[in-house]
Amino acid sequence: MRLLPPLPPRPRATALAGGLAAALLLSGCGAGTGTPEPAPSSAPSSEPSAAAPADGSGGPSYVALGDSYTSAPFVPQTDVAGGCFRSDDNYPAQVAEALGARLTDVSCAGADTSDVRRPQLDGVPPQADALGPDAELVTVSMGGNDGGVFSTLVGQCGRPGVAATDCSRPISAATESRLRERLGRTATDLARVLRLAARRAPDARVLAVGYPVIVAGDACDALPLSAASQAAAARLNTELNDAVRTAARRAGATYVDVAAATEGHDICAEDPWVNGATTDQQRALAFHPFAAEQRAVAEAVVAAVWR
């Protein structure tokens, strides 16, 4: 069911606005949990494909760039071809349906901002190759894998056979300071990606999509971190989104505040929208979004398009 009618035609000189990207957590993208193993119920393709195009029956062209918080492994059916683990019901798919758009989804688990310009995996071209002058909407969601910010926090949490105690080592003040400094560089890298998207798709509106609230103040079994590490992760979760917002501002892009849309649904909440340390191949990769989070992101993106 469509939330909104298709994007209306617009003069090519004034298309929608321009913008970039962001990303997050504990691999917000595949780092920290390892490469996901395909579930038996997933729908693997017999031929590796670099992108997942969808026919919007002649609607506007929409290109989605991102990491695993965009590809959303195991939410629910997942294309395992090529190693990008794109869900058939991730937020780009829902946005495309809502807008009646033709989707090209090149999001890929483990991607960082450098993978926009260079091949990430064998058979997976640079994500920027999907951008072109016909695009009317571009979303970019990455940054959490840059410099291993969140994978540093969670270490091996979520890997099979790793005890929770192995994830409980406190994060030192020096480590947190280093990660915070790295986020400053991430904002610069994201701004470059946003500007590249605007150049490659000059008539497109470019949206920098942030990350959800993954870690808040409360501890729980699903997030086996020490109290100090959890507090540091919560701060860095916020600061990563600040980096995305800063990048969008620098590049003249539209920032989509996913944290606001997902507040109260962190890993340890009563109704979590992000999975904890155990991968559920019917629902979500460890430390990655459930279907409810992807619905919330899709609604936030659609709302941003029509602002």
Within 8 A by CB and 6+ apart from 196, the residues are 116, 117, 128, 131
Within 8 A by CB and 6+ apart from 128, the residues are 65, 116, 117, 196, 197, 200
How many Cα neighbours within 13 Å face the side chain of 164?
A: 11
What does the pLDDT read at residue 158?
46
What does the pLDDT read at residue 51?
58
Give pLDDT tens digits for 227-256.
Answer: 777 888 888 899 999 999 999 999 999 999
Handedness of CA 191, 193, 196, 201 (dihedral sign): negative
Give pLDDT tens digits for 59-117.
Answer: 899 999 999 999 999 998 888 777 899 999 999 999 999 999 999 999 999 999 999 99
What does the pLDDT read at residue 176?
82
Query: Which residue is associated with the tokens 């994007």?
Result: 7
Selection from 11-15, 28-32, 198-202 with the highest mean pLDDT: 198-202
The answer, yes or no, to whether residue 269 has pLDDT greater than 90, is yes
Across the chain, mean pLDDT equals: 80
- All domains of the chain in start order, with CATH: 20-305 (3.40.50.1110)
pLDDT band at 206 (very low <50, low <70, confident <90, very high): very high
Catalytic residue positions, numbered = 68, 288
Of residues 17 and 123, more confidence is placed in 123
Q: Where are the alpha helices (DSSP H) in the chain?
A: 68-71, 91-99, 149-154, 173-200, 227-251, 258-262, 291-305
